[in-house]
A and B are shown apart, each in its own frame.
Chain A
Amino acid sequence: DAKTTQPTSMDCAEGRAANLPCNHSTISGNEYVYWYRQIHSQGPQYIIHGLKNNETNEMASLIITEDRKSSTLILPHATLRDTAVYYCIVNSYGGSQGNLIFGKGTKLSVKP
């Protein structure tokens, strides 16, 4: 079973920030939080990952709570091309990426 829980779906207006929450209450100290997204009928695409500090890259920001039991992926200015399923995953420090357990993710619909 997935170690994370996410809402099944979310809507966001084009140009607005999309905030996607994820609960990972059983995360252990050596586990990273990873985010991937999958556009329909394509392979998943890596977005960002973090351990305990907030992270930002050209695609998104990742905010991890102090107790590390939840996190939020932020797409600052969502576009129609950001419509996809977003997966939040935890993985051990030193663990195999192939053992990433994908849940059902959050289907984000960006609307004009």
Chain B
Amino acid sequence: DGGITQSPKYLFRKEGQNVTLSCEQNLNHDAMYWYRQDPGQGLRLIYYSQIVNDFQKGDIAEGYSVSREKKESFPLTVTSAQKNPTAFYLCASGLPRERVNTEAFFGQGTRLTVV
């Protein structure tokens, strides 16, 4: 089935370690996005990519990095520079800005806990 997959669902890391969250989609979408969600809060945009080999910072990009080497994949690295990395991370995909009137599809999220 077509969809967007995030893995793992739960992730634990020690403070000071970098960690990479996976996001894969087989929907043939050009655009992919990463959001962060803290308890009781809405989603905040970290990074987005509208085409392979290109990506843009969102509202809270500091301490994160991404790559977009393949259309299907948009991994997010949470670096040791991120001061408060424990959160729920959501990946989404959609058609690019030129294609209007469409919705975004979200993965099921990765809950990262840094101890």
The answer to whether A and B assemble together is yes
Interface residues of A (CB under 8 A from B): 2, 32, 34, 41-46, 49, 87, 93-105
User: Helix, strand, loop or mixed for chain A's interface?
Assistant: loop
Q: Are A98 and B48 in contact (CB under 8 A)?
A: yes
Which residue in B42, B50, B100 is a CB contact (below 8 Å) of A94?
Answer: B100
B102 close to chain A: CB less than 8 A: yes
Report how many residues on chain B are interfacial, defined by Cβ distance under 8 Å: 33
- Residues of B close to A41: CB separation below 8 A: 88, 109, 111
B14-22, B77-85, B90-98: which lies at the interface: B90-98
Task: State how many angstroms separate the Cβ of A40 from the closest Cβ of chain B.
Answer: 11
Out of B42, B96, B100, name the residue touching A102 (CB < 8 Å).
Answer: B42
Per the 8 Å Cβ criterion, residues 24-45 of B in contact with A are 31-33, 35, 40-45
Q: Of residues B32, B48, B97, which shows the largest number of chain A Cβ atoms within 10 Å of its Cβ? A: B97
Check if B11 is an interface residue, CB within 8 A of chain A.
Answer: no
When the two chains form the complex, which single residue of A34, A42, A96, A104 contacts B48, counting CB atoms closer than 8 Å?
A96
Q: Are A100 and B104 in contact (CB under 8 A)?
A: yes
Note all chain A residues with C-beta closer than 8 A to B106: 43-45
